[in-house]
C-alpha cells in the first residue's frame, strides 16, 4: 500500500528525474535514494508536480515533524520502506490550494493530514488523491494539527481498544515523558482515567514529575522506586491497573507487567531499551495477563475502509486540542531549509520533537 500511496503522491512517475511533462507547479522536497546510516544523503530538490486530476487535490504543506520512524525509514530499518526516489516524512499537515472537479470531501482552504504512513510530508507542496486525506479544523493550532496523527492517535487507540476502561480505572505506563506518554496522560485524564507514570531516574526528576502532573498525571514514579516498593501506597488511592503501556522493554516492561491486575493487558508500542521483555510464565497462567502490540501504521491499514472511524478519532483529538485538554508536545520549530539541524537533533537522545515549517 505504501508504494501505491507514494506513487499517487508523486504523480505516477512524473516526479523528479522523469523530466517535466506539462508541469503546472513544482515544489521543494527532501529526497533520498538509498537506505543506510548516512543521513546526509537527504537533499532538498525541486520536484515537478502533476496536474490536479478529477479526484485529486493540491496541498501546500505547512508543517511536518521529524519522527524517529522517519529516520528509521531512511536508514532502512523500518518494517515499511518506500520506493526510490523517496520524499522523507510520514506526518504533517497542509492546506488545500486546488481541488479536482470530482472532489467533494475537502475544499480550498481546508486543513488536512495524510491518512497513511509513507506520504512523504517533507515538501512544500503535494498533489494526491482526496481519499488519502483527513480533515482537521482550522481553529486547531498548526503544531497540534501537524503532530496529531501518530502519537496522539497511538495513545487514543491504546486507551480504547485493549481493555474496557471506565472512569476511575487506572492505566500504568513507562516512558511516560515520551510524546505518546504525554498524550496518554492527557487523553486518559480527559476520559476520567487515572494514570501511574514511570520514568527513568534522572537529575531533574522532580521537575519532570511536576511537568507531567501539570499535564494531568495522577502519579509519577521512577523505575527504581517501582522496583523497590511496588505500587504500595498508590493502591490505597487508585484501583490496580488493568491496562499497561510499554515503550521501553527489558526490566521496565516487566515492572509494568507485574503491576497489573489479574486479567490485565500489557500493550507494547516501542522498545527504547533495546532489550527483550522478560515475562514470567506465572503472570500469563495464573494472573491471566495478555500481551499485545500496537502499531499505528498497521491499525490504519486494517481500518482503511472505515473512513468514519479514522475521521471520528481525529475529530475527537482535535476537540481535545481545541479545548486544551490535549496540548502538542514541546517542539522546536525549524525553518524548512534548516532541515539538517532537525534531522541531527532527532537522532540525539533527550531532544524535543523537531517540526519543519515549510512556509
Q: How far is the CB of 246 from a copy of itself (least distance, A)?
A: 8
User: Residue 292 — φ and ψ, nearest 5°?
Assistant: -135, 165
Q: Let me know: does 81 contact 73? Beta carbons within 8 Å.
A: yes
Of the residues 4, 298, 312, 351, which one makes contact with a copy of itself according to CB under 8 A: 298
Report the sign of the C-alpha dihedral through residues 66, 80, 188, 144, in that order: positive
Region of residue 298 (phi > 0: left; psi between -120 and 50: alpha; otherwise: beta): alpha
Q: Is 279 in the site for a copy of itself (CB under 8 A)?
A: yes
Interface with a copy of itself, residue 89, by CB under 8 A? no
Provide, rounded to whole angstroms, the least separation between the CB of residue 20 and a copy of itself.
39
| Pairing relationship of beta strands 170-174 and 56-66 according to DSSP bridges | unpaired
1 binds a copy of itself (CB under 8 A): no
Cβ closest to a copy of itself, residue 55 vs residue 301: 301
Q: How far is the CB of 106 from a copy of itself (least distance, A)?
A: 32
- Does 175 bind a copy of itself (CB under 8 A)? Our answer is no
**How far is residue 52 from each of residues 15, 47, 84, 99, 100, measured CA to CA in Å?**
14, 15, 23, 7, 6
Q: For strands 86-87 and 125-129, give the pairing.
A: unpaired
Per-residue x/- track, 42-81, a copy of itself (CB under 8 A)? -------------------------------------x--
Does residue 281 bind a copy of itself (CB under 8 A)?
yes
Q: Indicate if the alpha-carbon torsion angle 314, 315, 316, 318 is positive or negative.
A: positive
Q: Is 339 annotated in the active site? A: no
Q: Which of 105, 271, 304, 344 touches a copy of itself (CB under 8 A)?
A: 271
Give the binding range for a copy of itself (CB under 8 A) out of 65-73, 179-187, 225-233, 246-254. Answer: 246-254
Q: How far is Cα 326 from Cα 159, in angstroms, rounded to an integer? A: 14
Out of 290, 312, 330, 351, the residue judged to bind a copy of itself by CB under 8 A:
290
Instruction: Indicate the SS3 state at residue 202.
Output: coil
- We find the least distance from the C-beta atom of residue 247 to a copy of itself, in angstroms, to be 8
Stretch in the footprint of a copy of itself (CB under 8 A) among 44-52, 218-226, 228-236, 291-299: 291-299
Selected binder of a copy of itself within 229, 288, 337, 351 (CB under 8 A)? 288
Q: Does 280 sit near a copy of itself (CB under 8 A)?
A: yes
DSSP-assigned letter for residue 123: B
225: left (phi over 0), alpha (psi -120 to 50) or beta: alpha
At 86, list the grid cell: 523517496
Whether the CA torsion 165, 171, 177, 178 is positive or negative: it is: negative
Closest CA to 219 of 188, 249, 242, 191: 188
- By CB under 8 A, tell whether 118 contacts a copy of itself: no
Of 20 and 79, CB closest to a copy of itself: 79
127: nearest Cα among 147, 141, 112: 112
Do 108 and 99 contact (CB within 8 A), yes or no?
Answer: yes
Interacting residue with a copy of itself among 39, 71, 291, 345 (CB under 8 A):
291
> Which part of the chain contacts a copy of itself (CB under 8 A), choosing from 113-121, 200-208, 284-292, 326-334?
284-292
Evaluate whether 217 touches 201 at the Cβ level (below 8 Å): no
Kindly tell me which of 23 and 271 has the beta carbon lying closer to a copy of itself.
271
**Binding residue for a copy of itself (CB under 8 A) from 177, 283, 346, 354?**
283
Positions touching a copy of itself (CB under 8 A) are 79, 246, 249, 254, 268-271, 276-295, 298
What residues are labeled active site? 78
Amino acid at each position: 500500500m505504501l508504494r501505491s500511496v507514494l506513487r499517487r503522491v508523486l504523480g505516477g512517475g512524473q516526479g523528479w528525474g522523469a523530466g517535466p511533462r506539462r508541469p503546472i507547479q513544482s515544489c521543494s522536497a527532501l529526497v533520498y535514494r538509498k537506505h543506510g546510516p548516512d543521513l546526509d544523503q537527504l537533499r532538498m530538490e525541486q520536484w515537478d508536480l502533476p496536474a490536479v486530476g478529477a479526484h485529486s487535490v493540491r496541498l501546500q504543506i505547512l508543517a511536518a515533524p521529524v519522527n524517529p520512524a522517519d529516520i528509521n525509514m531512511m536508514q532502512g530499518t523500518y518494517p515499511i520502506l518506500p520506493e526510490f526516489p523517496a520524499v522523507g516524512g510520514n506526518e504533517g499537515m497542509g492546506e488545500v490550494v486546488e481541488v479536482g472537479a470530482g472532489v467533494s470531501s475537502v475544499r480550498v482552504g481546508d486543513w488536512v493530514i495524510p491518512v497513511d504512513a509513507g506520504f512523504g510530508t517533507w515538501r512544500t507542496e503535494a498533489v494526491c488523491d482526496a481519499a488519502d486525506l483527513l480533515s482537521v479544523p482550522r481553529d486547531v493550532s498548526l503544531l497540534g494539527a501537524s503532530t496529531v496523527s501518530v502519537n496522539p492517535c497511538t495513545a487514543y487507540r491504546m486507551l480504547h481498544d485493549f481493555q474496557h476502561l471506565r472512569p476511575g480505572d487506572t492505566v500504568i505506563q513507562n516512558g511516560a515523558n515520551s510524546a505518546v506518554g504525554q498524550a496518554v496522560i492527557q487523553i486518559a485524564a480527559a476520559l476520567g482515567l487515572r494514570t501511574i507514570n514511570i520514568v527513568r531516574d534522572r537529575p531533574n526528576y522532580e521537575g519532570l514529575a511536576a511537568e507531567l502532573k501539570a499535564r494531568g498525571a495522577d502519579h509519577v514514579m521512577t523505575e527504581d522506586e517501582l522496583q523497590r516498593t511496588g505500587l504500595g501506597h498508590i493502591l490505597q488511592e487508585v484501583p490496580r491497573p488493568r491496562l499497561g503501556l510499554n515503550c521501553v522493554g527489558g526490566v521496565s516492561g516487566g515492572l509494568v507487567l507485574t503491576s497489573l491486575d489479574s486479567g490485565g493487558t500489557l500493550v507494547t508500542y516501542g522498545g527504547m531499551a533495546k532489550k527483550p521483555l522478560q515475562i514470567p510464565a506465572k503472570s500469563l497462567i495464573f494472573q491471566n495477563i495478555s500481551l499485545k502490540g500496537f502499531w499505528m501504521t498497521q491499525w490504519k491499514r486494517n481500518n482503511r475502509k472505515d473512513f468514519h472511524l479514522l475521521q471520528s478519532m481525529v475529530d475527537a483529538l482535535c476537540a481535545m486540542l481545541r479545548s486544551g485538554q490535549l496540548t502538542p508536545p514541546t517542539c522546536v520549530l525549524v525553518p524548512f531549509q534548516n532541515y539538517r539541524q532537525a534531522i541531527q537533533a532527532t537522532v540525539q537522545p533527550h531532544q524535543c520533537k523537531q517540526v519543519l515549517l515549510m512556509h
